Amino acid sequence: MIALHRSGAVRIALLFLGLFACTVVAAFALTYTLVRQEIVDHLRLNIVAGADAMAARLASEPPEEVLSSSSRQRVAALFDADGKLIYGERGLSPFVGWQEIPADSVGLQEEPEYRSMTVMVYGRRVGQLYLSVGEGMDIVEDSREALTSGLLWSLAFVLMAGLAGALVIAWRIDRRLGRTEVALNAYASGDMTRRLPLAGSGDELDRVSASVNTVLDRLTGLIETTRQITTDAAHDLKTPMTRLLHRLAEAEGTSAAESKMVLRSAAAEAKQIIATFDALLRIAEIEAGARRARFDLVDLSEVIETVADAYGPEAEQAGQRLETKIGSGLLITGDRDLLTQAFADLVENAIRHAGAGAVISLMATSHDAGVEAMVCDTGPGVPAADRERVLKRFVRLEASRSTPGTGLGLTLVKAIADLHNARLELGDNHPGLRVTLAFPQAPAMAKSAAA
């Protein structure tokens, strides 16, 4: 049952109903004013024509004959220069111009069903005399009654139709919002698969529901990510923290030199654990999307060149060769610091796992859809079955178990790619691994501003 006093749809419908009713009243008032003025003007023309005809006849005919020949709805009177009645209706008075007087004060000879309430009187001079001619305003009064009756019936129809429409609208909206409330309550109760229903009409409620569903999808993803982080952190950090505890326990009862060695080893373990937590927090921050507020126009060419210059010496020390093939002026919208970190992690990952003698290539080019950047190496690569898996948290392949790391490098790169709406792909470099980041085109306005 709809609570009418609490229904926003009913209140809005009643507001518009009131506005429409006021509009109807104003329209009828304006119509009555215009119609009345038109009828009064026509009535005055008839009275003036009758008065002029009487004035012309008075020059050659006696007043009794002229004034007694007027119509049953018309009265007339003739006065001398001093205002004394010569002949005619005693209820009239000598004057020049127009007057409206009560019909009861004069003797109109009207039918009962056409009885006038008011008489329109016109006065003029006829030589030294005054002639007053009046006519009943029953036509004006009838038009007022007709318009008033039409107004009342129209208002009654508007009110009934408006109330019925308000109830229908409130019922439909209440039904849709009721389903929305059920879905949101189910979601709040733990059913993360529930979404707001869509009617398919594309109206405002559908658009709002679609936007809320997008938010729920995002929230579900964040909740799942948080749950996964908690699970992974508990699983993957339990071993190093237990090992750290055992090493600290081993320091008890040992010599000073042995204790120092144990403490150094424990410090290294602690640094690795802290690095893991820092990486998890950074990934969570990036996935939350807060860094989008810092987005600006970025020259990706400069970012990749900076990374190549920084890691060139390290690649040489590892017995590898770092090559670049980077187009100039590759503009995208993003966060320069995060993009630098993403490419640094990819290059560092390649240096760590490609092995001695490998060639690491950094390439970037533009095309119609945007900018594409690749980090390739000629190392052992990643099996096709594991390429999706290595993007998840704490996943390390058997070949990399002996090397230091948190297993979060590629996860961080994926988070940065998702933040920039970039497509991240791991492919075969024949031999080795090819990591491709495809960024959307920077807005044209931003390009022109940069130019």
Q: For 224, what's the count of Cα atoms within 13 Å in the CB-facing half-sphere?
A: 10
Q: What is the pLDDT of residue 217?
A: 84
Q: Would you call 425 helix, strand, or coil by DSSP?
A: strand
> Please, are residues 199 and 176 in contact by the beta-carbon 8 Å criterion?
yes
| Biggest alpha carbon–alpha carbon distance for the chain | 154
Q: What is the pLDDT of residue 245?
A: 74
Q: What is the pLDDT of residue 446?
A: 45
Q: What is the pLDDT of residue 70?
A: 61
- Of 63, 36, 33, the C-alpha closest to 118 is 36
As a whole number of angstroms, the distance between CA 4 and CA 301 comes to 63
> Please, are residues 372 and 434 in contact by the beta-carbon 8 Å criterion?
no
Q: What is the pLDDT of residue 132?
A: 93
Please provide residue 10's backbone torsions phi and psi, each rounded to the nearest 5 degrees: -65, -45
Fold match between 6-142 and 292-450? no
Q: pLDDT for 148-203, tens place per residue?
A: 888 888 888 878 887 787 778 777 777 887 888 888 888 888 888 888 888 877 77
Q: What is the pLDDT of residue 448?
A: 45
For the chain, list residues with pLDDT below 70.
1-10, 69-73, 110-114, 225, 228-240, 247, 251-254, 258, 272, 275-285, 287-291, 393-409, 443-451
Give me the amino acid identity at 409.
G
Delimit the domains of the chain by residue range.
Answer: 6-142, 204-286, 292-450
Which structure tokens are listed for 438? Answer: 């495809």
Q: Would you call 240 helix, strand, or coil by DSSP?
A: helix
Q: What is the pLDDT of residue 3?
A: 55
As a whole number of angstroms, the distance between CA 74 and CA 1 comes to 64
The CATH superfamily of 292-450 is Histidine kinase-like ATPase, C-terminal domain (3.30.565.10)
As a whole number of angstroms, the distance between CA 425 and CA 422 comes to 10
Give me the amino acid identity at 278.
D
Between 8-58 and 138-188, two packed helices, what is the crossing angle to 10 degrees? Answer: 170
CATH architecture of the region 6-142: 2-Layer Sandwich (3.30)
Q: Would you call 87 helix, strand, or coil by DSSP?
A: strand
DSSP string, 90-153: TT----SEEEEEEGGGS-----GGG--SEEEEEEEEETTEEEEEEEE-HHHHHHHHHHHHHHHH
> Please, are residues 326 and 299 in contact by the beta-carbon 8 Å criterion?
no
Q: pLDDT for 66-86, tens place per residue?
A: 887 666 668 899 999 999 999
